[in-house]
Amino acid sequence: MQRYFVNKKANEDRFFIDEEDRHHIVKVMRMQIGDQIICVDPEGRQAVCRLAEITDESVVADIVQWIEAIPELPIFITIASGLPKGDKLEWIIQKGTELGAQQFLPFSAARSVVKWDEKKAAKKIDRWKKIAKEAAEQSHRAVMPKIVSPMSFKALMGISKDFDYKLAAFEEESRNGEISVFSSTLQQMKKGESLLLVFGPEGGLADEEVQQLRNYGFGLCGLGPRILRTETAPLYSLAAISYHFELLR
């Protein structure tokens, strides 16, 4: 059943869907009155709905039944990625959304080849948000991940204090056989707590960044015996988190 994130709460047991989602329902899916969809409101509540009206401006969907199941990870995961080349960040956002991340935070790292262009910022961020929205709908999420505008490494350190736990993937730790920091952190975490995961760009984190991460209380963790690409490491981590919190238990 097709799923849509609705901008406003239900009004008298009805959802009003407009703009791109209205176009998708009418022009792409070619739905008719009586067809059913799932609507998700801004608070993450989900409901099976039946199309009641289709106008030139909106689609009206009547609530049939609220859905009680919650498809979200029990902890709040933020993926902070050093700006990578090409479309790698789009891949991280799409697949990371499917795997349960709730926030993506790109940052300019010392070894980032890509330099953030403020003139193209709005268009780029809009594209990332669209990718996250479509991935959240496809994977039947109840929450659409937040995409934060790229920031400096210094700014990233500044906001890191807002998280319950914080880790940085560091390939030297993997080479040295470190295997405990990531798993022990997950074992300590409780439902509702937050975890900031930092990943370097191609070439990894610079020595001065690693030192600052230590100074700000980050744990440096390896992700197994193999060295992972910048677009692979976040997905590996999210899969491991899902296994620990959703399958292992």
pLDDT in tens, 217-249: 999 998 988 889 999 999 999 999 999 999 987
Q: Which of 67, 96, 120 is the last residue of a domain?
A: 67
Q: State the amino acid at position 103 in one-letter form.
A: Q
Q: Does residue 76 sit in helix, strand or coil?
A: strand
User: 57 and 86, same structural domain?
Assistant: no
pLDDT for the residue 201: 96
Comparing 177 with 43, the larger pLDDT belongs to 43
Q: Angle, nearest 10°, between helix axes 233-242 and 88-98?
A: 0
User: 97 and 195, same structural domain?
Assistant: yes
Cβ atoms of 19 and 56 closer than 8 Å: no
pLDDT for the residue 177: 61
Comparing 113 with 175, the larger pLDDT belongs to 113
Q: Does residue 81 sit in helix, strand or coil?
A: strand
The burial class, CB within 10 Å (0-12 / 13-18 / 19+), for 71 is middle
Look-up: residue for tokens 């995409």? 147
User: 117 and 26, same structural domain?
Assistant: no
pTM of the model: 0.91
Confidence bin at 176 (pLDDT 50/70/90): low
User: pLDDT tens for residues 18-32?
Assistant: 989 999 999 999 999
**Cα–Cα distance, 91 to 120 (Å, whole number):** 19
Task: State percent of the chain over pLDDT 90.
Answer: 85
User: 123 and 35, same structural domain?
Assistant: no
Lowest mean pLDDT, pick from 49-58, 109-118, 210-219: 109-118
Instruction: List all residues 6 or more positions away from 211 whose beta carbon is below 8 Å from its beta carbon.
Output: none
Q: Do you know the residue count of the chain?
A: 249
Q: Which of 14, 41, 67 is the last residue of a domain?
A: 67
Instruction: List all residues 6 or more positions away from 62 whose beta carbon is below 8 Å from its beta carbon.
Output: 13, 14, 49, 50, 52
Average pLDDT, the chain: 93
Rg of the chain over CA atoms, in angstroms? 20
Confidence bin at 174 (pLDDT 50/70/90): low
Dihedral through CA 127, CA 129, CA 131, CA 133, nearest 10? -150
Number of domains in the chain: 2
User: 57 and 127, same structural domain?
Assistant: no
User: pLDDT tens for residues 48-76?
Assistant: 999 999 999 999 999 999 999 889 999 99
The burial class, CB within 10 Å (0-12 / 13-18 / 19+), for 65 is exposed
Look-up: residue for tokens 């989602």? 21
- Can you give the CATH number for the domain in which 196 is found? 3.40.1280.10
pLDDT greater than 90 at residue 13? yes
Domain region containing 83: 76-247
Look-up: residue for tokens 């709460």? 9
